[in-house]
């Protein structure tokens, strides 16, 4: 009976993890090799990929000025079935810790994900042009 109560508690509260500095470190350790230190898709492995990594500083621009928090979490953890995540991009959903944090998008959509993914999303949102 504790598990359903825990799930309800998680859904009732917003994510507490949103450490942009930690997100930057996670990006440098896991993402910069393809996306580049400047997040513009020019990492040392970018040229070897079939699908070029996108410029991550322009995500909000591609979504009419609104940063898609839930969508970015899905892309990072592998729930978004786009080709780049089923192909060249590693799926990080099972690399990071358990999915224990609730991310809420500006529109109210919720995603249960890991604290690491939330920190990465917060970092990506902080670097938008």
Q: How many domains does the chain have?
A: 1
Q: 64-102 pLDDT, tens per residue?
A: 999 999 889 888 887 765 554 445 566 666 667 677 777
Distance CA 69, CA 95 (A): 20
Residue 6 lies in a domain: no
Residue 9 lies in a domain: no
Residue 47 lies in a domain: no
Residue 77 lies in a domain: yes
pLDDT at 42: 96
Residue 81 lies in a domain: yes
DSSP code string of the chain: -HHHHHHHHHHHS------HHHHHHHHHHHTHHHH-TTSSS--TTGGG-SSPPP-GGGHHHHTTT---HHHHHHHHHT-S--HHHHTTSPP-TTTSS---EEEE-TTS-EEEE-HHHHHHHHHHHHT--
pLDDT at 7: 41
pLDDT at 20: 96
Tokens linked to 58 = 């322009």
59 has pLDDT over 80: yes
By residue range, what is the domain housing residue 90? 18-27+56-126
Residue 87 lies in a domain: yes
pLDDT at 65: 93
Residue 96 lies in a domain: yes
Give the pLDDT band of residue 113 (cuts 50, 70, 90). confident
């Amino acid at each position: 009976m504790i598990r359903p109560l825990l799930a309800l508690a998680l859904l009732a509260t917003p994510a507490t993890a949103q450490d942009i500095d930690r997100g930057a470190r996670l990006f440098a350790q896991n993402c910069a090799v393809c996306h580049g230190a400047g997040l513009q898709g020019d990492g040392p492995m970018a040229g070897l990929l079939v699908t070029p990594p996108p410029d991550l500083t322009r995500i909000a621009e591609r979504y009419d000025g609104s940063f898609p928090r839930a969508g970015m979490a899905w892309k990072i953890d592998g729930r978004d079935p786009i080709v780049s995540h089923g192909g060249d991009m590693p799926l990080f959903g099972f690399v990071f810790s358990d999915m224990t944090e609730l991310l809420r998008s500006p529109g109210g959509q919720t995603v249960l994900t890991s604290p690491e993914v939330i920190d990465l999303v917060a970092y990506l949102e902080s670097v938008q042009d």
